[in-house]
Structure 1
Amino acid sequence: MQGTRNEALVAWLDNHRTTVKELTSLLNTAIYELTGKPGSVNERHVFKLLRGEHKSPNSALRMALQKVTGRTAAELGFVPRGSKKEKPAPAPEDDPLYRRALLAAATAAGVSLAAPPLGGQRPRRLNANDVEVLKAELVAWTTTESTYGGTPELEKRAEDLTDKVIGLQQGNTASARIRSELYTVAAAFSNSAMWAAIDGQRFGPAEYHLDRTIRLAGLSGDPATEFRVWGHASILFRHLDRPTDALAAAERAQASAIARRDPLFSSLAMSRLAVNHAKFGDDRSAMRYVDLAQKALDRADPNRHRPSWVGFYDQAELDHLAMVTRMQLGQWAAAERHAHRSLAYLRPDLKRNSALVHAHLAVAQLGQRDLEQAIGTAQNIPEGMMRHARVRGLLDGFTEQVIVLAPRNSEVRDWRARYRTVVE
């Protein structure tokens, strides 16, 4: 049966650099987590979804698609069965599907991965299939984090999976190539745990994850993994008010082999360097790196195969980091321009990023004394995302500033009342 190609699902695969094989594995894992029964989706079924030949998935597959992609069935171009209208995905703490999936994650991963041998049993030789199962789990984690941000549950899930991969290595045998790939995956999960902690403003645990990730990344020998470690280390050091360490870590990422080979990684490194130079008030260096980052991104091949975790970096993220750079320098009008550009390019599934950009935009507008516009921008942030740690940190400062600026203004009083209701 002929159908109209499902452009929404095709775009999601392209944006997340996910293959049909990986999506099939993710959907079957999600169905198991949701129902307790193994999924039976195959690649042929996924191709039918992509070609538009299957427009009304059953309830289990529909929920699995929403869990994996962070979008509703309607947003993915499917026609829901029955008369009930699909609802947008709620905030993490209000999302039973999210919580159920995370509570079952350790069990589900345990089914997929080989356990270390018991006493007297011969070790199993690990192979590429074991690596692929883990990579599919990493894609699922990245997708969920991109939607909800670094929740404590996601941090714990990534930490548990790191432990599982390490245990898998210790109790079985593998070739040098498979062993290196497993260390790469372990480092990716540990790095993901570190990022979730940073994003949630839990800096003590983030430092623990950093030390562990550096060790695993070194054992992996993978340039992209080492790049990611130092990039996140730079962000962590900046939050810890260690600007010199933050700059050194960002420079280490920029000097990595992957940044020399791939303009996209080079662009990301230079965008972060711009933020770090702005922290020192060095506007000349900061603006130079913003310009270099844009030129490098313009050269990057969008179809080049890259790790799934770097899928977040695009024009929207470059403008987001340029906006932060401008705000560090007090250049509020320029920051606002970058914020609007970021929102124009931002993928709709990145709800946490959208909330962050809106919060920064509100601060930039307030910096120009545009009180009414700033409050209106802040009001556009979904209440569930107002409670996200980084978003709340920005809005706490924003609220203090508007009260100081216009304590008797009715809009300020209304905003203060609403914000307190949401976050307290």
Structure 2
Amino acid sequence: MASSSVPAPRPHRPPLPNVAFRRLRGPRSPAEFAALVRRAAREIGERVSCDARYVGRVEAGEIRCPNYAYERVFLHMFPGRTLTDLGFAPRSAVRGRAARTAGDAPGATETDGAHEPYDTQDPYDPYDPDDRHHDDEESDVLRRAFMTGGGATVAAASLGPLGLSLDASPARRPRRAGAGQVSALEEAVRRIRLLDDRHGADGLYRRAAAPLRAAYALLDAGATRQATADRLHAGAGELAISVGWLAHDSGRFDDARSHYAEALATARVTGDPALEAHAFCNTAFLARDAGRPREAVRAAQAAQRAARPLGSPRLMSLLALREAGGWAGLADRAGCEQALVRAQALFGRGPSDEDPEWMSFYGEAELEGLEAQCWSTLGDWPRAARHARRAARLQDPHFTRNIALYTAELADDLARGGRPDEAAQAGTRVLDLLDQVQSSRIQTMLAGTARVLLPHRRAGGVADFLDRHASRPRAV
């Protein structure tokens, strides 16, 4: 006789779409709605890394009940409604035990669950019914191993809690990956991007290398189902790109090139055009920054070929901007202008449900900022300054790093355009932000501006800016 303590097998239940939540989104794209969720979270002191994929999973019914942090945010956004009004299942039905309030949880505080931006999952995960014997406790450990919510750091993933080992011997080989591990991997990508948006890359890069090693160890182990394997490859590739960007923004160009190549190889192995387009997109950006403009043009064009079937005008717009940056580096003004016109026309078609979730940063501010970089490279300082000023003004306050980046671009364009007093004012605003942002790219730009301003020390505010800049500790 089977022990009564062992639950009887439950058949796989396909998720039911959350129609109520989809209605609440209205005409907004998933990315736009995710931005509203993050803004609402900040209003009540919560921290969630909501993005278009999370919204899509809620609407598809894959997240039957949100965690406590998301619950507080959603109820703040839609006062007077309950979770069931929003289309979610009761917590007791999902967890298999009585629902509790945040105050009932042992040691609960107002921010209980704030550092677990992932959903409260049904243990019988609809992605992977063969993985149903993995318990919730292990999934929680996996998520914590991949990321933390504290400050400007990402915790180095411990291979012990992940059940992984770098030892390649058969006896030590990790078990095949299930949906819980893949979900943790996907959330690691989101968390890294969120922290980079707020704080820049320098404090994150070395810590993010451990989750990447763990992700590729999972790839070597394989997955329990093909659908899980596809998610695992895509997640590992996206994580490689995210870690590559941290290296890129930290000035470690060789490391970045290696990570982007790894992501591209993963995309080619699995025939994933979305991942291939993303890898080529970042490769083009890196090539431009590394002084290889012709490679930047070719990589951007390859990205456009991969992305064309994906049906995202915004993605094609960004890739046209990457191409424009390469043409500018080649001093080809006509080629640059043609690519910029194409980028603006594609951007004007608006957001789409097909926009990749990693593109949440790409709005009007980024369009203006990248155009400013093109005109700056071409030496048209007044035009570059106009676009950089617009970029800084349009940027959502959530993206602290980008505000600092656009303002640094503005300061440099003003300095080189013969307006030292305005450049010093903009540079001082960047210095104010550097307590929150750690980016070698921004520090390098500001150092260049300071060198340009040295002969103009007597202009209004320049001496104060130069003295304050000189007193800052240099990045190690």
Q: TM class, shorter-chain normalised?
A: 0.7 to 0.9
Residue number in structure 2 paired with 1:322? 371
Q: Is the 8 A contact 1:324 1:335 kept in 2?
A: yes
Residue number in structure 1 paired with 2:392? 343
Which of residues 280, 283, 287 in structure 2 aligns to 1:237?
287
1:360 aligns with 2:409: yes
Q: Is the 8 A contact 1:335 1:364 kept in 2?
A: yes
1:139 aligns with 2:174: no
Map Cα deviations across residues 249-276 of structure 1 (whole Å, 9 max, x no partner): 1111122134662111110000111111
Moved more, 116-125 or 175-184: 116-125
How much has 1:180 moved relative to structure 2?
A: 2.2
1:395 aligns with 2:442: no
AA in 2 matched with 1:184:
A
For residue 461 of structure 2, give the secondary structure of its aligned residue in structure 1: helix
Which of residues 428, 451, 461 in structure 2 aligns to 1:379?
428
Q: Is the 8 A contact 1:183 1:219 kept in 2?
A: no
For residue 19 of structure 1, give the secondary structure of its aligned residue in structure 2: helix
After superposition, residues 22-421 of structure 1 pair within 5 angstroms as 41=68, 44-52=71-79, 62=111, 65=114, 97-98=150-151, 102-103=154-155, 105-107=156-158, 111=161, 113=162, 115=164, 126-151=177-202, 153-258=203-308, 261-302=311-352, 304-381=353-430, 382-384=433-435, 388-404=439-455, 406-409=456-459, 411-421=461-471
AA in 2 matched with 1:331:
D
Identical amino acids, percent of aligned pairs:
24
Residues 353 and 67 of structure 1, relative CA distance in 2, 3 Å threshold: farther
Q: Is the 8 A contact 1:166 1:186 kept in 2?
A: yes
Say which structure, 1 or 2, has more relative contact order (CA 8 Å, 6+ apart).
1
Distance 1:67 1:384 in 2: 26
| Greater Cα radius of gyration, structure 1 or 2 | 2
Moved more, 395-404 or 215-224: 215-224
Residues 412 and 134 of structure 1, relative CA distance in 2, 3 Å threshold: same
Residue number in structure 2 paired with 1:16? 51
Distance 1:122 1:372 in 2: 62
How much has 1:142 moved relative to structure 2?
A: 1.1
Q: Is the 8 A contact 1:146 1:350 kept in 2?
A: yes
Distance 2:319 2:233 in 1: 23
For residue 217 of structure 1, give the secondary structure of its aligned residue in structure 2: helix
Q: Is the 8 A contact 2:284 2:323 kept in 1?
A: no
Residues 125 and 67 of structure 1, relative CA distance in 2, 3 Å threshold: closer
Map Cα deviations across residues 315-359 of structure 1 (whole Å, 9 max, x no partner): 111111111111111212221221222123211111111011001
How much has 1:207 moved relative to structure 2?
A: 2.7
Map Cα deviations across residues 259-302 of structure 1 (whole Å, 9 max, x no partner): 66211111000011111111111111111111111110111334
Residues 21 and 290 of structure 1, relative CA distance in 2, 3 Å threshold: closer
How much has 1:172 moved relative to structure 2?
A: 4.7
Residue number in structure 2 paired with 1:422? 472
How much has 1:422 moved relative to structure 2?
A: 1.9
Distance 1:385 1:276 in 2: 31
Give the TM-score normalised by structure 2: 0.68
Distance 1:138 1:48 in 2: 26
Number of residue pairs aligned between Structure 1 and Structure 2: 372
Q: Is the 8 A contact 2:405 2:442 kept in 1?
A: yes
AA in 1 matched with 2:247:
A
How much has 1:118 moved relative to structure 2?
A: 9.8
Residues 361 and 229 of structure 1, relative CA distance in 2, 3 Å threshold: same
Give the TM-score normalised by structure 1: 0.76
Gapped regions of structure 1 (runs ≥ 5) = 24-38, 70-95
Distance 1:351 1:162 in 2: 25
Map Cα deviations across residues 86-130 of structure 1 (whole Å, 9 max, x no partner): xxxxxxxxxx9326x523x414x864x554799779985544444
Please tell me the root mean square deviation across aligned C-alpha atoms, in Å.
3.7
Residues 385 and 396 of structure 1, relative CA distance in 2, 3 Å threshold: farther
AA in 1 matched with 2:68:
V
Q: Is the 8 A contact 2:176 2:218 kept in 1?
A: no
Gapped regions of structure 2 (runs ≥ 5) = 1-24, 26-32, 41-47, 59-65, 82-101, 119-148
Q: Is the 8 A contact 2:274 2:310 kept in 1?
A: no
Moved more, 264-273 or 212-221: 212-221
Distance 1:320 1:269 in 2: 14
How much has 1:41 moved relative to structure 2?
A: 2.7
Higher helix share: 1
Residues 172 and 240 of structure 1, relative CA distance in 2, 3 Å threshold: closer
AA in 2 matched with 1:346:
Q
Moved more, 353-362 or 10-19: 10-19
For residue 331 of structure 2, give the secondary structure of its aligned residue in structure 1: coil
How much has 1:224 moved relative to structure 2?
A: 1.5
Distance 1:421 1:10 in 2: 36
Residues 258 and 141 of structure 1, relative CA distance in 2, 3 Å threshold: farther
Distance 1:385 1:325 in 2: 27
